[in-house]
Amino acid sequence: GDIQRLFGDPNNYPDSARDAGAQGSVAAALAIGADGKVTSCNVTQSSGNKDLDNQTCRISLSRIRMTPAKDDNGANIASNFTLRVRWQLPQE
């Protein structure tokens, strides 16, 4: 599915970031386990707002599921993924 939709829901926008008028792009390095779940998230490019950066990892760790990478024998293996998220204030 479209990962960006997880971040586009206005309910996922941190209240403190909304109140501050914060927007921006976040890049994060995700480690994906052999089961397709995100096992770690490290922000590699900040949006300039700590709450948006933290929310990116919080959502990634709790909601993102990916199709696992495969080795040459077709077995699931751990992998890495670079996530880019654009946080934009919801239109009111």
Residue 92 has a pLDDT of 63
Cα gap 69→64, rounded to integer Å = 15
Q: Look at the pTM and tell me if it is higher than 0.75.
A: yes
Of all helices (H) and strands (E), which one includes residue 43? strand 38-45
Residue 3 has a pLDDT of 85
Per residue of the chain (92 residues), give pLDDT as tens: 678 888 888 899 999 999 999 999 999 999 999 999 999 999 999 999 999 999 999 999 999 999 999 999 999 999 999 999 999 998 76
Residue 90 has a pLDDT of 80
40: number of Cβ within 10 Å: 14
